[in-house]
Amino acid sequence: MENYLITIYRFYEKQQDKLKGIRSVEIASELKISKPSVSSMIKKLTNLNYLKSEPYSKIFFTKKGLTYAKKLIHNHRIIEVFLRNILELDVADIHKEAHILEHAFSDKVIKKLNLFLNNPQMSPYRKKISQI
């Protein structure tokens, strides 16, 4: 579920018009999975009130979903900063490593990392880090 929300948020983040919505085919292509698998997960996320969607229509975040997706992205990017600035991992490796670690770090650890790193504003990939 989290990987879907993160993927959808990345598309959302790139959009000029936030009311445009995301197409499931974009998600399937990005995650390299079948469109029926995406449709199934979108339905689950809609039932959990993270997304709004109708069959064969575009996908939108609910307030709850957007808040949660922003938190997930924030955590991922804080870990990326830590891996790059403190552990000095190569930029080519940090996204993959952050993806592994984001599932293991608690909110408490992320808050401490954020403070330790002096509340960074940008990830090593020049992506904005929203403060939550």
43-71 pLDDT, tens digit per residue, is: 999 999 999 997 778 999 999 999 999 99
What CATH class is the domain 2-61? mainly alpha
Using DSSP, state whether 59 is helix, strand or coil: strand
- 60 φ/ψ angles, rounded to the nearest 5 degrees: -130, 150
What pLDDT was estimated at residue 105?
94
Contact 46, 64 (CB under 8 A): no
Structure tokens at 78: 């804080």
State how far the alpha carbon of 114 is from the alpha carbons of 10, 15, 74, 81, 130, in Å. 21, 27, 10, 9, 11
What pLDDT was estimated at residue 61?
97
State the pTM of this model: 0.89
- CB atoms under 10 Å from CB of 119, counted, come to 10
Q: How far is 76 from 78, CA to CA, in rounded Å?
A: 6
73-114 pLDDT, tens digit per residue, is: 999 999 999 999 999 999 999 999 999 999 899 999 999 999
Mean pLDDT within 19-30: 92
What pLDDT was estimated at residue 17?
86
With vertex at residue 65, the alpha carbon angle to CA 63 and CA 71, rounded to the nearest 5 degrees, is: 105
- CB atoms under 10 Å from CB of 14, counted, come to 8
Using DSSP, state whether 51 is helix, strand or coil: strand
Fold entry, domain 67-116: Diphtheria Toxin Repressor; domain 2 (1.10.60)
Q: Where are the domains of the chain?
A: 2-61, 67-116
What pLDDT was estimated at residue 130?
87
